[in-house]
Amino acid sequence: MADRIKELPEGERPYEKVLKSGAEVLSDAELLAVILRTGSRHGNSVDLARSILKLHPAYQNLIALHHLTFAQLIGVEGVGEVKAIQLLCIAELSKRLSRCISEQQLSFTNPESIADYYMEHLCYLGREELHVMFFDSRHRMICEVKLAEGTVQEASSTPREILIEGIKCEAVFMILVHNHPSGVPAPSEADFHFTRRVKQAGEVVGIMLSDHIIIGNHCYVSFKERGYIS
């Protein structure tokens, strides 16, 4: 087993492969190896990358980077604090890049586009988060607010807290977005109850609830699309 990348045959070295054919020809492990730069005493950076990608019990690919913690990463031989931080930053960078791309194509009247906008951030979380998007009379977004985060079961907030934020920015419409850490976006009875309360409270102060979108594992449910909100 080669201890260093330089000991690999030239055609198998990630840097040389990129120079010759572009980054798209690299495997997931090779891409990660370019970031890691060095391996451990038992193998080169590609070997180390493969170990990291197999570290999570459920996700044996790049998605694992969204789920691995700092403690798990530094537990891998060859990964110190600096490399662990780099890997966490890469995962966060991928989320933000995906969100920037989605934002350019976002249609605020299209539930699928809104779900795409939040998907990379929310679908990997082990806890629930509640976000609210506020809009003006032409349905242009004024602001978005993360109002609550909680356990696997719930992220608690109240209609009053939501409407206070909406009144501050003089909103006319709002959309609720939250995730189900289970990966299944089917609404619970609590979701229906909370949605009704927010809708009724919003009507009193003139901030209409346009939709409630629940994010699952790369899937979503829109109350508007399902006919739960008229």
Examine the pLDDT at 35 and tell me if it is beyond 70. yes
The position carrying tokens 């009144």 is 167
The pLDDT assigned to 5 comes to 61
Q: What is the mean pLDDT of residues 59-78?
A: 89
Q: Does residue 221 contact residue 187 with C-beta atoms inside 8 Å?
A: yes
Q: How far apart are CA 127 and CA 144, in angstroms?
A: 19
Burial environment of residue 46 by CB neighbours within 10 A (0 to 12, 13 to 18, 19 or more): buried
Of 117, 98, 99, the closest CA to residue 108 belongs to 117
Q: How far apart are CA 214 and CA 115, in angstroms?
A: 8
Residue 2 pLDDT class (50, 70, 90 cuts): very low
CATH class of 109-226: alpha beta
Examine the pLDDT at 74 and tell me if it is beyond 60. yes
